[in-house]
Amino acid sequence: MNILVIGATGGSGRAVCDALLERGHTVTALARHASSLPARAGLDRVDGDATRASVLDAVLPGHDAIVVTLGISEPVMRVRLRGAKSTPDDVRSKGTAAIVAAARRAGVRRLVVQSSYGVGDTRSLLRLTDRIMFALLIRPQIIDSEIQEGVLRGSELDWTIVQPVYLTDGDSPEHFSSTDGTIRRNKVARRGVAQVHAELVENPGRVRETVSVSG
């Protein structure tokens, strides 16, 4: 399959590219600085802003599916106190809205999007400590993720939402996934979450689901 990964230079995006390439797929990595990724067989790197229709219209045709891992990669505390330096607070919702519109124009229906555990369907399942942390540290990002999920749910595309718990950079691909919000541990390696993205891309029948991913 030919897969477009949007937000490919972040930790999650890199892991998804790795997982898809390891499974034999060809990957187009789209990010503002995608050319900074190491060159690899099967990987096409495209520099561009995923919130711009002209960029998406140029790159989307010919792909079988899209994986979206948009987010802010700067330190959480600095973003909360001073705002992000180079990424707008609404990058998830604005980017996803642009992607949905471009996917319609290109005729690409399969869309797998990373959100966060504790948004939408799993909001009521958060522990009290997590709710406090979300409110204090990442409230703008959570609000943006809520809007992002609303954009997907309002579309007719074959979308699936992936909601990982706290992400780590560990090497373990082990993970546990569910569609009812059940989790085992409160941390999971990005590599494990990437395996879920790859599995969902390969299984086009799993649509309009929210998949929780934990370690």
> Other C-beta atoms within 10 Å of 152: how many?
23
Domain containing 167 equals 2-214
The pLDDT of residue 73 is: 59
- Amino acid making up residue 77: M
Cβ neighbours of residue 18 under 8 Å, at least 6 residues apart? Answer: 191, 194
What does the radius of gyration of the chain's CA atoms come to, in whole angstroms? 16
User: Residue 23 gets which letter from DSSP?
Assistant: T
Q: Is 172 helix (H, G, I), strand (E, B) or coil?
A: coil
**CA 183, CA 117: separation in Å to the nearest integer?**
10
The pLDDT of residue 134 is: 79
- How far, rounded to the nearest angstrom, does the alpha carbon of residue 57 sit from its chain's CA centroid? 19
Stated pTM of the model: 0.93
Phi, psi of 12 (to 5 degrees): -70, -40
The pLDDT of residue 77 is: 44
Residue with tokens 């898809």, as numbered in its chain: 20
> Other C-beta atoms within 10 Å of 124: how many?
8
**CA 39, CA 45: separation in Å to the nearest integer?**
8
- Amino acid making up residue 66: I
How many domains are there within the chain? Answer: 1
Q: Give the residue from 176, 170, 179, 173 showing the smallest Cα distance to 206.
A: 179
Q: Give the residue from 168, 188, 169, 170 showing the smallest Cα distance to 178.
A: 188
User: What's the CATH code of the domain at 98?
Assistant: 3.40.50.720
Query: 102-132 pLDDT, tens per residue?
Result: 999 999 999 999 999 999 989 999 988 888 8
Strands 2-6 and 65-68: parallel
**CA 144, CA 71: separation in Å to the nearest integer?**
10
Q: pLDDT per position in the chain (215 positions), as tens?
A: 999 999 999 999 999 999 999 999 999 999 999 999 999 999 999 999 999 999 999 999 999 999 999 986 545 444 444 555 566 778 999 999 999 999 999 999 999 999 999 999 899 999 888 888 777 777 888 899 999 999 999 999 999 999 999 999 998 899 999 999 999 999 999 999 999 999 999 998 899 999 999 99
Six-digit token pair at 201? 């891309």
